[in-house]
Structure 1
Amino acid sequence: MSKLIFINLPVTDLDRSKAFYEAVGATNNPGFTDETAACMVLSETIHVMLLTHDKWRQFTDRPIVDARQQAQVLLCVSEESREAVIAKVDKAAAAGGQPDPTPSQDYGFMFGRSFEDPDGHIWEVMWMDPNAAPPHA
């Protein structure tokens, strides 16, 4: 069985965040969604748990950072092509996200851009052709 990853993110407006993630291609798993949390499926193995602040506090007593002012993680997902990277960032921008909060990267064999979700969490989106990557020294 493949390992699964569940990314837990605190959000200020659950409905707005659900709509944003659906707009960038995630699907909602209603079996793990209620008025305090939403399970958004990015792929067969990657799920994003959107948690209200009250729900988040059930898991940790550490303070919730303002992701627009501080960064705790940078999340990165791959796409199948350069065009798909561009399309994903365009979808995020059209849905109210901030495009390119981090510098774009273009190394020929690898291309990446980024977006912020409505709560300021940064998602990097990248494509890489491993056959064209330079050899490691």
Structure 2
Amino acid sequence: GGCIPAEFLDTPVDYESLTKLGSIMGSGGLVIIDDSTNMPDFVNFFMDFCEDESCGKCIPCRVGTVQIRKLLDKLISGEGKPEDLEKLDKLCQLVKSTSLCGLGQSAPNPVLSTLKYFKNEYDILIQPTQTVEAGES
């Protein structure tokens, strides 16, 4: 799968059109969510699924999906750093290009597509929170 924004709502649901947007047909399912959905949390759900469903035969899928989910957990918990976004992207590209089966090759798609179309939601997670000490105003 992949996550595409509302601006592409009129895109034909076919292999070529979805591939251009960074998604795939998969099993033909389509999920529509509203703008209140937290995209990093949403893709973490998919990574949990992929991690559980990995057969374990190849290292990129077996280990890579776990590492992708751990990086997502780190970001979601507010412990992420700017360089973690680059690590996440590179790890997803590696898992996608080196996994043996379709699950491993497509597992990173939701992360990659949200990094492309919803990057601001990841950027917010790594911005330092500003606090004001008592008496500083």
With the length of structure 2 as denominator, give the TM-score of the two structures: 0.32
Which structure's residues are more often strand, by fraction? 1
- Which structure's relative contact order is higher, taking Cα pairs within 8 Å and 6+ residues apart? 2
Which structure's residues are more often helix, by fraction? 2
With the length of structure 1 as denominator, give the TM-score of the two structures: 0.32
